[in-house]
Amino acid sequence: MDICEKVFGFELTFKTSEKLFSYKGADKGTLFMLDKCEIKEDDVVLDLGCGYGLVGISCAKVVKGNNVVMCDIDPLAVEYSFINAEQNNINNVTIIQSNAYENITRDDFTLILSNPPYHADFSVPKRFIEHGYKKLSYGGRMFMVTKRLEWYKNKFISVFGGVRIFRNDGYFVFMGIKTSDLKLNRNKKV
Protein backbone atom coordinates (compact mmCIF):
# COMPACT_ATOMS: atom_id res chain seq x y z
CA MET A 1 0.00 0.00 0.00
CA ASP A 2 1.22 3.53 -0.76
CA ILE A 3 0.39 6.52 1.43
CA CYS A 4 1.22 10.23 1.19
CA GLU A 5 1.90 12.49 4.16
CA LYS A 6 2.89 16.14 4.55
CA VAL A 7 5.33 16.56 7.44
CA PHE A 8 7.45 19.64 8.23
CA GLY A 9 6.13 21.09 4.97
CA PHE A 10 7.46 18.21 2.84
CA GLU A 11 5.26 15.93 0.74
CA LEU A 12 6.43 12.37 1.38
CA THR A 13 5.29 9.00 0.07
CA PHE A 14 5.60 5.70 1.88
CA LYS A 15 5.13 2.08 0.99
CA THR A 16 3.60 0.15 3.86
CA SER A 17 2.52 -3.34 4.77
CA GLU A 18 -0.56 -4.39 6.72
CA LYS A 19 1.88 -6.17 9.05
CA LEU A 20 3.26 -2.79 10.23
CA PHE A 21 1.80 -0.25 12.65
CA SER A 22 -0.43 2.44 11.14
CA TYR A 23 -0.03 1.09 7.61
CA LYS A 24 -3.06 2.98 6.21
CA GLY A 25 -1.68 6.40 7.11
CA ALA A 26 0.25 8.28 9.74
CA ASP A 27 -0.93 7.75 13.29
CA LYS A 28 -2.52 10.94 14.72
CA GLY A 29 -0.37 10.64 17.82
CA THR A 30 2.83 10.41 15.78
CA LEU A 31 1.89 13.52 13.79
CA PHE A 32 1.07 15.32 17.05
CA MET A 33 4.49 14.37 18.47
CA LEU A 34 6.23 15.63 15.32
CA ASP A 35 4.29 18.88 15.60
CA LYS A 36 5.59 19.40 19.15
CA CYS A 37 9.26 18.37 18.73
CA GLU A 38 10.56 21.62 17.16
CA ILE A 39 13.28 19.92 15.14
CA LYS A 40 16.37 21.93 14.20
CA GLU A 41 18.84 21.34 11.40
CA ASP A 42 21.67 20.66 13.87
CA ASP A 43 19.73 18.02 15.83
CA VAL A 44 21.06 14.47 16.11
CA VAL A 45 17.93 12.34 15.93
CA LEU A 46 17.04 8.79 16.94
CA ASP A 47 13.75 7.41 15.63
CA LEU A 48 13.25 4.62 18.17
CA GLY A 49 10.88 1.97 16.83
CA CYS A 50 10.83 3.49 13.35
CA GLY A 51 8.21 1.26 11.72
CA TYR A 52 8.12 2.02 8.00
CA GLY A 53 10.14 5.19 8.56
CA LEU A 54 7.75 8.14 8.70
CA VAL A 55 9.41 9.90 11.66
CA GLY A 56 13.06 9.39 10.73
CA ILE A 57 12.57 10.18 7.04
CA SER A 58 10.60 13.32 7.91
CA CYS A 59 13.38 14.42 10.27
CA ALA A 60 16.03 13.72 7.63
CA LYS A 61 14.39 16.35 5.42
CA VAL A 62 15.24 18.96 8.08
CA VAL A 63 18.42 17.72 9.78
CA LYS A 64 21.75 18.30 8.06
CA GLY A 65 24.45 15.69 7.60
CA ASN A 66 24.19 12.07 8.64
CA ASN A 67 22.49 12.85 11.93
CA VAL A 68 19.39 10.65 11.77
CA VAL A 69 19.40 7.08 13.09
CA MET A 70 16.33 4.88 12.69
CA CYS A 71 15.86 1.52 14.38
CA ASP A 72 13.25 -1.15 14.84
CA ILE A 73 13.28 -4.69 16.20
CA ASP A 74 11.12 -5.89 13.28
CA PRO A 75 13.13 -6.80 10.14
CA LEU A 76 10.08 -5.99 7.98
CA ALA A 77 9.96 -2.46 9.41
CA VAL A 78 13.67 -2.03 8.69
CA GLU A 79 13.16 -3.27 5.13
CA TYR A 80 10.34 -0.79 4.52
CA SER A 81 12.36 2.03 6.08
CA PHE A 82 15.13 1.39 3.54
CA ILE A 83 12.57 1.33 0.70
CA ASN A 84 10.95 4.55 1.89
CA ALA A 85 14.22 6.38 2.45
CA GLU A 86 15.18 5.63 -1.15
CA GLN A 87 11.69 6.51 -2.44
CA ASN A 88 11.91 9.93 -0.73
CA ASN A 89 15.49 10.62 -1.87
CA ILE A 90 16.90 10.35 1.64
CA ASN A 91 20.48 9.09 1.79
CA ASN A 92 21.64 10.70 5.01
CA VAL A 93 20.08 8.25 7.48
CA THR A 94 21.34 5.17 9.26
CA ILE A 95 18.75 2.38 9.49
CA ILE A 96 19.46 -0.44 11.93
CA GLN A 97 17.62 -3.52 13.13
CA SER A 98 17.87 -3.23 16.90
CA ASN A 99 16.01 -4.30 20.02
CA ALA A 100 15.70 -0.81 21.47
CA TYR A 101 19.25 0.55 21.95
CA GLU A 102 21.02 -2.82 21.65
CA ASN A 103 22.77 -1.99 18.34
CA ILE A 104 22.87 1.80 18.74
CA THR A 105 26.44 2.94 19.39
CA ARG A 106 25.89 6.71 19.37
CA ASP A 107 25.25 8.45 22.67
CA ASP A 108 25.12 12.04 21.46
CA PHE A 109 21.47 12.35 20.45
CA THR A 110 19.82 15.72 20.91
CA LEU A 111 16.39 14.31 20.04
CA ILE A 112 14.85 10.87 20.57
CA LEU A 113 11.37 10.31 19.17
CA SER A 114 9.21 7.28 19.88
CA ASN A 115 5.66 5.97 19.66
CA PRO A 116 6.17 2.80 21.71
CA PRO A 117 3.85 -0.20 21.88
CA TYR A 118 1.86 1.11 24.84
CA HIS A 119 -0.95 -1.43 24.76
CA ALA A 120 1.33 -4.15 26.18
CA ASP A 121 3.11 -4.16 29.51
CA PHE A 122 5.40 -1.30 30.48
CA SER A 123 8.72 -3.15 30.08
CA VAL A 124 9.39 -1.78 26.57
CA PRO A 125 8.68 1.91 27.28
CA LYS A 126 10.49 1.59 30.63
CA ARG A 127 13.64 0.50 28.77
CA PHE A 128 13.10 3.14 26.06
CA ILE A 129 12.92 5.95 28.63
CA GLU A 130 15.65 4.81 31.06
CA HIS A 131 18.22 3.94 28.40
CA GLY A 132 17.20 6.88 26.24
CA TYR A 133 18.27 9.24 29.00
CA LYS A 134 21.77 7.75 28.78
CA LYS A 135 21.83 8.13 24.97
CA LEU A 136 21.01 11.85 25.07
CA SER A 137 23.59 14.60 25.17
CA TYR A 138 23.10 17.33 27.81
CA GLY A 139 20.13 19.43 26.83
CA GLY A 140 18.88 16.58 24.64
CA ARG A 141 15.14 15.96 24.48
CA MET A 142 13.09 12.79 24.41
CA PHE A 143 9.56 12.86 23.02
CA MET A 144 7.19 9.95 23.42
CA VAL A 145 3.54 9.70 22.43
CA THR A 146 0.98 7.39 24.06
CA LYS A 147 -2.68 7.28 25.02
CA ARG A 148 -1.85 6.67 28.67
CA LEU A 149 -0.98 9.42 31.12
CA GLU A 150 -0.08 8.47 34.69
CA TRP A 151 2.58 5.76 34.26
CA TYR A 152 4.44 7.70 31.55
CA LYS A 153 4.23 10.98 33.46
CA ASN A 154 5.64 9.31 36.59
CA LYS A 155 8.38 7.49 34.64
CA PHE A 156 9.53 10.65 32.87
CA ILE A 157 9.61 12.54 36.16
CA SER A 158 11.59 9.78 37.89
CA VAL A 159 14.17 9.59 35.08
CA PHE A 160 14.34 13.18 33.81
CA GLY A 161 13.41 15.02 37.01
CA GLY A 162 10.44 16.60 35.26
CA VAL A 163 8.24 16.32 32.20
CA ARG A 164 6.29 18.56 29.87
CA ILE A 165 3.02 17.05 28.67
CA PHE A 166 1.06 18.04 25.58
CA ARG A 167 -2.50 16.73 25.15
CA ASN A 168 -4.60 16.41 22.01
CA ASP A 169 -7.50 14.20 20.97
CA GLY A 170 -6.78 11.42 23.48
CA TYR A 171 -2.99 11.44 22.91
CA PHE A 172 -0.29 12.55 25.31
CA VAL A 173 3.13 13.68 24.14
CA PHE A 174 5.77 13.60 26.87
CA MET A 175 8.97 15.64 26.65
CA GLY A 176 11.90 15.11 28.98
CA ILE A 177 15.15 17.10 28.84
CA LYS A 178 18.48 15.71 30.02
CA THR A 179 20.06 18.19 32.40
CA SER A 180 22.61 15.98 34.18
CA ASP A 181 23.41 12.42 35.18
CA LEU A 182 22.35 13.16 38.75
CA LYS A 183 18.66 12.41 38.19
CA LEU A 184 19.34 8.96 36.81
CA ASN A 185 21.85 8.15 39.57
CA ARG A 186 19.43 9.40 42.21
CA ASN A 187 16.91 6.79 41.14
CA LYS A 188 19.22 3.78 41.35
CA LYS A 189 18.36 1.39 44.13
CA VAL A 190 21.16 0.53 46.49
pLDDT tens-digit map of 78-125: 999 999 999 999 998 999 999 999 999 999 999 999 998 766 678 889
The interaxial angle of helices 150-160 and 123-135, nearest 10 deg, is 30
Closest CA to 43 of 66, 13, 15, 74: 66
* pLDDT, position 154: 97
In-domain check, residue 4: no
In-domain check, residue 84: yes
Name the domain count of the chain: 1
* pLDDT, position 121: 77
Range of the domain at 53: 27-186
* pLDDT, position 165: 98
Residue 187, pLDDT above cutoff 60 = no
* pLDDT, position 190: 35
CA angle, 70 as apex, 89 and 161 as ends, to 5°?
135
* pLDDT, position 188: 46
Name the amino acid, one letter, at 176. G
Q: What is the mean pLDDT of the chain?
A: 91
Q: In what order do the strands lie in the sheet with 93-97?
A: 93-97, 68-72, 45-48, 109-114, 136-146, 171-177, 164-168
In-domain check, residue 139: yes
- DSSP type of residue 177: E
| CATH assignment of the domain containing 159 | 3.40.50.150
In-domain check, residue 126: yes
Higher-confidence position of 184 and 39: 39
* pLDDT, position 182: 53
Report H helices in the chain.
Answer: 28-36, 54-60, 75-87, 123-135, 150-160, 182-186
What does the pLDDT average to over 161-186? 85
What does the pLDDT average to over 141-151? 95
**Rama region for 49: left / alpha / beta (φ>0; ψ in -120 to 50; rest):** left
- DSSP type of residue 153: H
Higher-confidence position of 79 and 19: 79
In-domain check, residue 3: no
pLDDT band at 132 (very low <50, low <70, confident <90, very high): very high
- Measured in degrees and rounded to the nearest 5, phi and psi for residue 147 equal -110, 10
* pLDDT, position 118: 66
